[in-house]
Chains A and B, each alone.
Chain A
Amino acid sequence: MKLTLKIWRQKNAATKGELKTYPIDGIEGDMSFLEMLDVLNEGLINKGEEPVVFDHDCREGICGSCSLQINGEPHGPDRLVTTCQLHMRMFKDGDTIVIEPFRAKAFPVIKDLVVDRSSFDRIQQAGGYISVNTSGNTIDANTIPVNKQDADESFNAATCIGCGACVAACKNASAMLFTAAKVSQFALLPQGRIEATERVLNMVAQMDKEGFGNCTNTGACEIECPKGISLENIARMNREYLSASLKG
């Protein structure tokens, strides 16, 4: 396959970036999108140019490092995959592909396609945990039975990989789906109920403080989420938030 890549290049946070055009040849359908970028970078290095920097690590769709806005969509045109699992067979010979970083005020660009998502860490630090000491001296695991449906739903919420596609997909750059997934994971478990009130209030407050936008229920986040995190989580978080606010 022969392709034309238009890639966002930006030296660092302080300088302005721009789209640059790179023709590329010899791309096979079995390559992942990031392997295609590896080929591009190898060529750039050999030519004495600086390679394109992008975040990536596990390359099996679970670490949440890779990002990329591909032709306007987070993680590109395929569904339920991250960029590292997007394969070039989704594209045709002669295509032009525009590759940009995830865009959001709360995700400033560090360099080229790499953005700073530490705002997600700070939302989790605000309450995304159960306050239990790690001494191991808790109660036997099976003394806390959990209804299977609740356990499964909690698990589904917990599969969020924290990649930020939901934010990049949202016209308001809202982090509601991400925050709601964590709130839901704990809200659905008996162990998580004890701190449920403080948790939802603190996490939402942090989310607002980081400069994420509001949710207007467009649902783009759910469509672009590589892990299929459901909008129901946002509804659950709203219920949790309302009841917490009334208590608080």
Chain B
Amino acid sequence: MSTLDSKIPKGPLADKWTNYKNEINLVNPANKRNIDVIVVGTGLAGGSAAATLAELGYNVKTFCYQDSPRRAHSIAAQGGINAAKNYQGDGDSNYRLFYDTVKGGDYRSREGNVYRLAEVSANIIDQCVAQGVPFAREYGGYLDNRSFGGVLVSRTFYAKGQTGQQLLLGAYSAMNRQINRGKITPYNRHEMLDLVIVDGKARGIIARNLVTGEIERHSAHAVVIASGGYGNAFFLSTNAMGSNVTASWKIHKRGAYFANPCYTQIHPTCIPVSGEHQSKLTLMSESLRNDGRIWVPKKKEDAEAIRQGKKKPLDLSEQERDYYLERRYPSFGNLVPRDVASRAAKERCDAGFGVNKTGQAVYLDFASAIQRFGKEQAGINGIESPSAEEIIKLGTQVIENKYGNLFQMYEKIVDENPYVTPMMIYPAVHYTMGGVWVDYNLQSTIPGCYVTGEANFSDHGANRLGASALMQGLADGYFVLPYTIGDYLSKDIKTGKIPTDTKEFDEAENKIRELLEKLINNKGTHSVDYFHKKLGHIMWDKCGMARNAEDLKSAMVEIRALREEFWKDVKVPGGMDEMNAELEKATRVADFLELGELFAKDALHRNESCGGHFREEYQTEEGEALRDDENFMYVAAWEYTGDPGNEVLHKEELEYENIEVKSRSYK
């Protein structure tokens, strides 16, 4: 075990980033023309990085498995993006955003990184507005804000329930400008399958053209991985069907350490599972918790009657309902952080109070909000003594304006009208805080290989607050990486084009060919999905919202056995030299089957509960997470040694100089 150097600059917290930027090396504009950069993934982190690097003058190649950069899964983020603008005058500041993020992450993130994130957050909003991102506005024409879980200010900018879409289209438009200038060459429907290292430095990738099946070599002076998280290890998650860990996992196997894989976010407000056929889960934005109240029946008999279809939620009076978040956490109520809300839902359902046929659901109820807004609107419109129907009609209109698309989506999926009947929700895997270990420069332990956005681990600690993922993705891509990568590339101005006809590229390409041939020629008896679903069940049952040592140990054994079975018995139809969706899935699931074991190992080694990592053995009497700061206030960065069950642990100790480490309370 060694100690990792995060390269956080010295000096006062608020000056670190500015001072650092003033000191690092720059590349002369004329030299940038001679430098190539590969960006893998075109979501918020990758798209923004590609656009900015191209604008600075580097030659950029982008890679995405989708048919267009605009389809990356950032597009599905609904609720909003945080920024310490303090437009509401409610006391927000860079320090508060920094503080909330570190506390929300349960004191498992890096102070220096998080402060930088807060510091650049305001610029993101300026940038996006200049790009024409149509954020929500108030009647005076100024930007509107909403509030999100785990904070006491309104700092979230939004575009109805489609904030991720609008921000991604902003980054995509910035990319398009550079594509039009010839500075970005997009390789869509391409998947990175390996990293090529030459003389210890990342110098290119091996990619498969998903239309023709051709294996391609691409060289560059640096490689940026912005390929998102690994939530699909659980099979069912809110990730897109194609979201995968392959790029991150392949660089891990080439020497990049993988940090805190067990930190997973289970989002509290998703549409419950309806049956075995389910292919993915749909998230309902956390912003709904601003106006929706979460409850289950107070009495078990009522919950049972509802499950059997004998009673409806509307049959229960106020006194017969348990608004358990308001009861347990009076000061934050329904707006507690995601991990707290998710565990509380699981606790009630496990105790027998769950609703839906499966008993795995709780209500999210808008009736009070409709009343409140209805009365408010009646007053605004000068309607004296409005009827009950009028109030409901006016209130419903307000809710529709705020969340219309989400309500429509819910109704299409569940076939119930959520304006009338309370929504049903249940937690689902949504985001992974863990990822490739990077230093302050966002560089992995492989020189020249950078990792941004959800794919890295650095800013959210053990739990991510709502509306922070979009902030981090864009901060990394627009404002951090373009500076820090320049310092590295300044040493490459005389290198010249990296050739691809070398033994390193030969070796990497041959390895990928062998892998693909093996999968195609395996001709086993079960489909890729068969194995993926099995892995998902192990992950959810044993590495999910609550974990214990015994389950984690058996998860490691089971995942290993499943991986062996996969390689013996998987069946991949079709050939290598054509579009082959099953082959694409097979390479991704093969990597999830390795990551899964490391995930369980990491969760097993962390003998404490923190944020999204809840170990049943470590909780307070009231069932809250119990951290062990003395022994576990570190980042666990794992080194691949040829076997995911036997990786070597490296620690990066976390130091808190500007924040007092406390136990996290939202009561």
Q: Mark B535-576, 1 if CB is under 8 A from A, else 0.
A: 000000000000000000000000000000000000101100
Taking CB atoms and an 8 Å cut-off, the chain B residues in 109-148 that contact chain A are 120, 123-132, 134-143
Number of interface residues of A (CB under 8 A): 82
Residues of B within 8 A of A57 (CB): 66, 71, 73, 240-242
A185 interface residue, CB < 8 Å from B? Answer: yes
Nearest chain A CB to B533's CB is how many angstroms away? 10
- With A51-B573, A124-B172: A146-B277 Cβ-Cβ less than 8 Å: no
Nearest chain A CB to B43's CB is how many angstroms away? 11
Instruction: Assess whether A85 is in contact with B277, with CB atoms less than 8 Å apart.
Output: no
Nearest chain A CB to B174's CB is how many angstroms away? 5
Instruction: Assess whether B75 is in contact with A58, with CB atoms less than 8 Å apart.
Output: yes
The docked-state distance in angstroms from the alpha carbon of A93 to that of B58 is 58
A50, A151, A186, A191: residue with the most chain B Cβ atoms closer than 10 Å: A151
Residues of B within 8 A of A138 (CB): 126-127, 129-130
Instruction: Assess whether B165 is in contact with A62, with CB atoms less than 8 Å apart.
Output: yes
B70 interface residue, CB < 8 Å from A? Answer: yes
- With A35-B279, A50-B574, A132-B131: A63-B174 Cβ-Cβ less than 8 Å: no
Residues of B within 8 A of A81 (CB): 412
Instruction: Assess whether A114 is in contact with B579, with CB atoms less than 8 Å apart.
Output: yes
B601 interface residue, CB < 8 Å from A? Answer: no
Look across to chain B and name the residue whose beta carbon is closest to the beta carbon of A161.
B165
Residues of A within 8 A of B582 (CB): 45, 51
Interface residues of chain A: helix, strand, loop or mixed (majority): loop
Residues of B within 8 A of A154 (CB): 132, 134
- With A46-B527, A120-B68: A63-B76 Cβ-Cβ less than 8 Å: yes
- With A32-B279, A55-B67, A110-B211: A151-B137 Cβ-Cβ less than 8 Å: yes
The docked-state distance in angstroms from the alpha carbon of A49 to that of B51 is 43
The docked-state distance in angstroms from the alpha carbon of A118 to that of B190 is 14
Instruction: Assess whether B137 is in contact with A136, with CB atoms less than 8 Å apart.
Output: no
The stretch among B175-183, B199-207, B214-222 that forms the contact with chain A is B175-183
Residues of B within 8 A of A158 (CB): 134, 159, 166, 169
The docked-state distance in angstroms from the alpha carbon of A85 to that of B479 is 36
Of A56, A116, A124, the residue contacting B173 (CB under 8 A) is: A124
Look across to chain A and name the residue whose beta carbon is closest to the beta carbon of B527.
A45
- With A58-B76, A64-B70, A120-B68: A142-B143 Cβ-Cβ less than 8 Å: yes
Instruction: Assess whether B75 is in contact with A53, with CB atoms less than 8 Å apart.
Output: no
Look across to chain B and name the residue whose beta carbon is closest to the beta carbon of A53.
B581
Instruction: Assess whether B408 is in contact with A80, with CB atoms less than 8 Å apart.
Output: yes
Residues of A within 8 A of B408 (CB): 80
The docked-state distance in angstroms from the alpha carbon of A62 to that of B66 is 13
Nearest chain A CB to B502's CB is how many angstroms away? 32
Given pairs A12-B579, A131-B177, A185-B134, 16 additional interface contacts (CB within 8 A) = A12-B578, A30-B415, A38-B277, A38-B529, A42-B527, A60-B283, A85-B409, A110-B211, A111-B578, A124-B173, A134-B127, A138-B126, A142-B85, A148-B138, A155-B159, A158-B134
Q: List 19 A-B contacts (CB under 8 A).
A: A32-B279, A35-B279, A51-B581, A55-B67, A57-B71, A60-B280, A63-B73, A87-B415, A110-B579, A111-B578, A116-B67, A127-B180, A132-B130, A134-B48, A134-B52, A148-B138, A148-B141, A151-B136, A192-B132
